[in-house]
Amino acid sequence: MRILYIDIDSLRPDHLGCYGYHRNTSPNIDRIAARGTRFTNYYATDAPCAPSRTAMFSARYGIHNGVVNHGGLAADRRPIGAERPFNYHHTAHQAWVDVLRFQKMHTAIISPFPGRHAAWHVLEGFLEMYDTGKHAGETAGDVSAEALRWIAGRGAEQEDWLLYLNFWDPHTPYRTPEAYGNPFADDPAPEWLTEDIIAAQRERYGTMSARDLPLGRQWPNLPAEIASRADFKRWIDGYDTAIRHVDDHVGLLLEALEARGLLEDTVIVVSADHGENQGELNIYGDHQTADHITSRIPLIVAGPRIAEGRVDEDLHYNIDLGPTLVELAGGAQRQGWDGESFLPALTGSEGDEGGEQKGRPYLVVSQMAWSCQRAVRFDQWMLIRTYHDGLKELPPLMLFDVERDPHETRNLADERPQEVAKGLRLLDEWLTERMYEADSPVDPMWQVIREGGPYHTRGLLDDYLQRLRETGREAAAERLAARHAGA
């Protein structure tokens, strides 16, 4: 069995053609989706980068593995303690990649991520590790060159392997080579972001908001601020071009597999670590919340035994994927995993007569690196509870109907008290169950808050207040100062 896992950083599903996007960003990824199964409600348990990948590779929630932040005590995996075995092989703590390794699969990773985040724990089970060496400054060609070399060598030699790749281009700063051009110069930007919404955003505060865009812009002609829909088009062109650039290199990988007669025998996974807000909640080009946009990610799987052209709309976590791949390869669930296999959803047996539904009844997702939030997705609703705002103008409770309002333009928390109450009950139920299962009595979210809040906004309050005042947002500065009085 061969598995090619393509992890595209900051890729939101609704900017892919196969998920209904109006721009032609992803013809090669769309080809994979057409011959496989696509998941519409697949969420990262913990965002952003390091918490998400730690959860995915460990098949454990951040509240259990301990990694929910990008710095401080909650950025390292919790030690097992006195019960730590000599190694994790064949124990409850074994990572799913290591399970595949002991099923005689050759496991390899091509990524700068472990070094960029000092997240060496994600390498557990990999026999080969190659760092592309640019600390996430890679473009798609840097990654695909190494992947093509690997496929031509080890990939052609071995019958059973897992190759995991990281592409980074859709992560700000958008770094597509200028010579690539803009394939979307004549395509309109998404219509949901209106001039009225932009005008309201410009009077508010928030890191990476309409007047405080991410620094280090590399894609040519990116705006310094979002003041109009014309600015938004220039901004979103940079993001979408980065996706299309990666997609071209995904096509090169497909061609290489096909040329060696491996394509039909390879399970191909396309996913991401998190999404990317592009104006939603007044956040541009970043992943700072536990909302529908940051937490929902694509999942496309195609290959042997995978149902063709199937769309699964059930609720799933990213921690469920590893156990699913292990079961597909003939392995068994480990006791220490929170993730649960949804293999019937891949093979098409889910929902058949006698088949078992494998979706979750509801999902709880978290963010602790840019804000401290937990959110619950149930029915068509997303309820977000904010414990620390990370210097963003967010209310304590937000409720969105993500089926009718996927861009989160209308907070219904005051209008739908019954749904808010249900969401809070589900959050409490989830937290109680997770803490009952946990090895530690400490919820890592409160550790983050005690250390000074989310890592990326610690110590920035005074400087940001000054910036707000210097840019004519005195009223916004007063609201932020009042909210953080005594901090």
User: Could you write out the DSSP letters of every residue in 217-255?
Assistant: --STT--SS--SHHHHHHHHHHHHHHHHHHHHHHHHHHH
Verify that 243 and 379 share a domain, yes or no: no
User: Is 352 inside a domain boundary?
Assistant: no
Segments forming the whole domain that contains residue 380: 363-483
Render the burial of 176-187: b for 16+ CB within 10 Å, e for the rest: beeeeebbbeee
Residue 396 lies in a domain: yes
pLDDT score at 352: 53
* CA–CA separation, 112 and 129 (whole Å): 9
Is residue 66 included in any domain, yes or no? yes
Contact 165, 4 (CB under 8 A): yes
- Per-residue confidence (pLDDT) for residue 232, from 0 to 100: 98
Residues 452 and 342 in one domain: no
Same domain, 55 and 134: yes
Q: Which helix H or strand E contains 347, and what residues bound it?
A: helix 343-347
DSSP for 424-484, please give it: HHHHHHHHHHHHHH-SSS--HHHHHHHTTSSGGGTT-HHHHHHHHHHTT-HHHHHHHHHHT
Whole-number Cα distances in Å, 113 to 130, 154, 167: 10, 22, 10
Residue 357 lies in a domain: no
7 close to 271: Cβ distance less than 8 angstroms: yes
Q: Residues 280, 273, 110, CA angle at the centre, nearest 5°?
A: 145
Domain identity same for 293 and 419: no
Q: How far apart are CA 396 and CA 386, in angstroms?
A: 5
pLDDT at residue 487, as a whole number: 67
* pTM of the shown model: 0.97
The single residue listed with the structure tokens 């709309």 is 313
How far, CA to CA in Å, does 129 sit from each of 95, 123, 147, 390? 16, 8, 12, 35
Q: Are residues 232 and 282 in the same domain?
A: yes
For position 398, which CATH number holds? 3.30.1120.10
Contact 304, 41 (CB under 8 A): no
The answer to whether residue 356 is domain-embedded is no
Over the stretch 310-360, which tens digit does the pLDDT of each residue have?
Answer: 999 999 999 999 999 999 999 999 999 999 999 999 998 865 543 455 799
62 SS3 class: helix
Q: Is residue 43 part of a domain?
A: yes
403 and 479 together in one domain: yes
- When divided into structural domains, the chain yields a total of 2
Non-local CB neighbours of 345 within 8 Å, separated by 6+ positions? 37, 39, 312, 314, 316, 358, 359
328 and 418 both lie in a single domain: no
Same domain, 334 and 393: no
Please tell me whether residues 458 and 398 are part of one structural domain: yes
Residues 460, 391: Cα–Cα separation, whole Å:
8
User: Do both 333 and 371 map to the same domain?
Assistant: no
Task: Give residue-wise pLDDT tens across range 269-314.
Answer: 999 999 999 999 999 999 999 999 999 999 999 999 999 999 999 9
Residue 296 phi, psi (nearest 5): -80, 130
Please give the single-letter amino acid code of residue 329.
A
Among 347, 375, 396, give the residue marking a domain's end: 347
DSSP, collapsed to helix, strand or coil, labels residue 65 as helix
What residues of the chain score a pLDDT lower than 70?
216-217, 350-357, 487
Q: Where are the beta strands (DSSP E) in 265-344?
A: 266-271, 277-278, 284-286, 299-302, 310-317
Residue that finishes a domain, picked among 347, 371, 391: 347
Asked whether residue 448 is assigned to any structural domain, the reply reads yes
| 32 Cβ contact list (under 8 Å, min separation 6) | 250, 254, 268, 270, 300, 302
Question: Does residue 434 belong to any structural domain of this protein?
Answer: yes
339 and 431 in a single domain? The answer is no
Q: What residue ranges in 87-160 does DSSP mark as E strands?
A: 106-110, 128-130
Q: Note whether 283 and 212 are same-domain residues.
A: yes
